[in-house]
Amino acid sequence: MTTSDEPDQEPVAPQLVRPYVITNGRNLLGDHEFSLITLVTAAEDISRTGNLDPEKRRLLELCSGGYLSVAEIVGHSHLPVGVVKILLSDLTEEGYLFTRAPIPAAKLVDRHILEEVLNGLQARFG
């Protein structure tokens, strides 16, 4: 957990204060380009990571073994969703991460995806 390694300075909602610090005070509840199922991985050739925040470094480490969804990064990092989305968004802009965006909800696409989901479920459990 993010709050456990530091003494609480305020008795009120330390879990609120901490993310605010990590994200430099940016709004946690705005619209972000990342959804929970956006797939993310670290770039192959990362240099100059020395000046990254510890939290960003940790996320980058999580991402460096292959692709994971944003939800999985949240789950493994134990940080709140909003915080992770902001940090990942920064890391992507800074060139440390690559993403595979979730599919747009066009009907034609859905048709293919549903077929693939069905085939996959049947192959595995049928």
Partner 1 sequence: MAFKPALDDGVYLRESVQTAAKILVVGHFAVGKTTFIGTMSEIPPLRTEELMTQAGEGIDDLKGTTGKTTTTVAMDFGRLTLSDRLVLYLFGTPGQQRFVQVWEDMSRGALGALVLVDPERLEESFPVMDLVEHYGIPYTIAVNRFDDTETHQDEEIREALDLLPETPLVNCDARDQRSSANALIVLVRYLQSRLR
Q: Is 24 in the site for partner 1 (CB under 8 A)?
A: no
User: Toward partner 1, which CB reaches closer, 5 or 124?
Assistant: 124
Residue 90 sits at φ, ψ, to 5 deg, of -60, -50
> Between vectors from CA 56 to CA 54 and to CA 60, what angle results, nearest 5°?
115
Which one among 23, 55, 56, 74 touches partner 1, defined by CB under 8 A? Answer: 74
Contacts (Cβ under 8 Å, ≥6 apart) of 46: 60, 96
Decide: is 97 part of the binding site for partner 1 (CB under 8 A).
Answer: no
| 69: contact with partner 1 by CB under 8 A | yes
Q: How far is CA 41 from CA 106, 108, 117, in A?
A: 25, 28, 23
What residues line the site for partner 1 (CB under 8 A)?
13, 15-16, 19, 28-29, 35-39, 42, 44, 46-47, 49, 58, 60-62, 64-69, 71-72, 74-76, 78, 80-82, 100, 102-103, 105, 107, 110-111, 113-126
